[in-house]
Amino acid sequence: MTLLLIYDESGNLLEKSSDYQYISHKLNSLGILFERWETKNLNESATAEEVLQAYKEDIDRINRMYNFQSIDVVSLTPDHPKKDET
């Protein structure tokens, strides 16, 4: 689920939406690319390379748009000892 909350400088809630199309349009108007990708059916023990291969088409498209130099794959499970760190 996606939720967009917009507050004024005093902390008053001005806007709230969970509508993907609205959020995407609102962020796009600010120059922010916002997308949802379909999840791929990967084994929970999939390697970083397998994840990158599964999402290759989307990753390549984003790389062409922004000329990124690196990509990270992060794996976080419910029992990960640092899952609550920010």
List, for residues 7-49, the tens digit of each pLDDT value.
999 999 999 999 999 999 999 999 999 999 999 999 988 999 9
Domain range for 55: 4-66
- Per-residue pLDDT at 81: 82
Paired sense of beta strands 13-17 and 4-7, if any: antiparallel
Residue 78 within a domain: no
User: Does residue 81 belong to any structural domain of this protein?
Assistant: no
**Residue 42: predicted pLDDT:** 93
Please give the tally of structural domains in the chain. Answer: 1
For residue 86, pLDDT beyond 70: no
80 in a structural domain? no
Beta strand extents in the chain (DSSP E only): 4-7, 13-17
Is residue 73 assigned to a domain? no
In a domain, 71, yes or no: no
Let me know if residue 44 belongs to a domain: yes
**pLDDT (0 to 100) of residue 13:** 97
pLDDT (0 to 100) of residue 76: 76
Instruction: Give 26's DSSP letter.
Output: H
> Mapped to the 3 state alphabet, what secondary structure does 57-68 carry?
HHHHHHHHHHCC
Tokens 């806007």 belong to which residue? 15
Question: Does residue 31 lie in a domain region?
Answer: yes
Backbone angles phi, psi at 21, to 5 degrees: -60, -45
Please determine, for residue 77, whether its predicted confidence score (pLDDT) is greater than 90: no
The reply to whether 79 falls in a domain is no
**Which uninterrupted H or E stretch holds 20?**
helix 20-28
pLDDT in tens, 51-61: 999 999 999 99
